[in-house]
Copies of this chain bind each other. A is one copy, B any other.
Amino acid sequence: MADPSKLVRPGGASEKRGKPTLRTIADITGLAVTTVSRALADAPQISLETRQRVRQVALEIGYSPDRAAQRLKTGRTNVIAVLLAPHEEILGYGTSVMAGIARALQGTAYHLIVMPNFLDAANIEAVNYIIRNGMADGLIFSRTEPLDPRVKLLSETGFPFVTHGRTELATTHPFVDYDNFTFTYEATRRLIAKGRRKPALISGPSGFTFSGHILHGFMTAVREAGCAYEILSGIDLDSPAGAIRDRIRQRQAEKDPPDGFTCGGEVCALATITGMSDCGLTLGLEYDIVAKQTSPLLGAIQPRVDTIYEDLTETGEHMGRILLRRIGGSTDIGELQLLLDPELRFKPQPAEVS
> Residues of B contacting A92 with CB < 8 Å?
89-95
> Residues of B contacting A302 with CB < 8 Å?
245, 274, 277-278
Contact A313 B113 (CB under 8 A): no
Tell me if A88 is interfacial: C-beta within 8 Å of chain B: yes
| Contact code string A339-350 (vs B, CB < 8 Å = 1, else 0) | 000000000111
Instruction: List 27 interface pairs A-B (beta carbons < 8 Å), by A numbering.
Output: A19-B132, A19-B133, A64-B133, A67-B71, A68-B72, A79-B113, A84-B95, A84-B98, A89-B92, A90-B297, A92-B93, A94-B98, A98-B114, A102-B114, A102-B116, A102-B118, A240-B296, A241-B296, A241-B297, A245-B350, A246-B350, A246-B351, A267-B297, A270-B300, A271-B301, A278-B353, A297-B297
Tell me if A52 is interfacial: C-beta within 8 Å of chain B: no
Contacts A72-B69, A241-B300, A299-B241 given: A99-B95 contact, CB under 8 Å? no
> Residues of B contacting A207 with CB < 8 Å?
none
Residues of A164-210 whose CB lies within 8 A of B: none
Tell me if A211 is interfacial: C-beta within 8 Å of chain B: no
Contacts A69-B72, A113-B113, A116-B98 given: A62-B350 contact, CB under 8 Å? no
Residue from B66, B106, B245, B299 within 8 A of A72 (CB atoms): B66
| Contact code string A57-89 (vs B, CB < 8 Å = 1, else 0) | 000001010111101100001010000101011
> Residues of B contacting A103 with CB < 8 Å?
116, 118
> Residues of B contacting A69 with CB < 8 Å?
68, 72
Which residues of A come within 8 Å of B, CB atoms? Answer: 19, 62, 64, 66-69, 71-72, 77, 79, 84, 86, 88-96, 98-99, 102-103, 106, 111-116, 118, 132-135, 240-246, 249, 267, 270-271, 273-274, 277-278, 295-297, 299-302, 313, 348-351, 353
- Given contacts A241-B296, A245-B350, A267-B296, 7 further A-B pairs with CB under 8 A are A19-B132, A84-B95, A92-B94, A93-B95, A94-B94, A102-B116, A242-B296
Q: Please state the number of chain copies in the assembly.
A: 2
Contact B242 A299 (CB under 8 A): yes
* Leading 3 A-B pairs by shortest Cβ distance: A241-B300, A242-B350, A68-B71
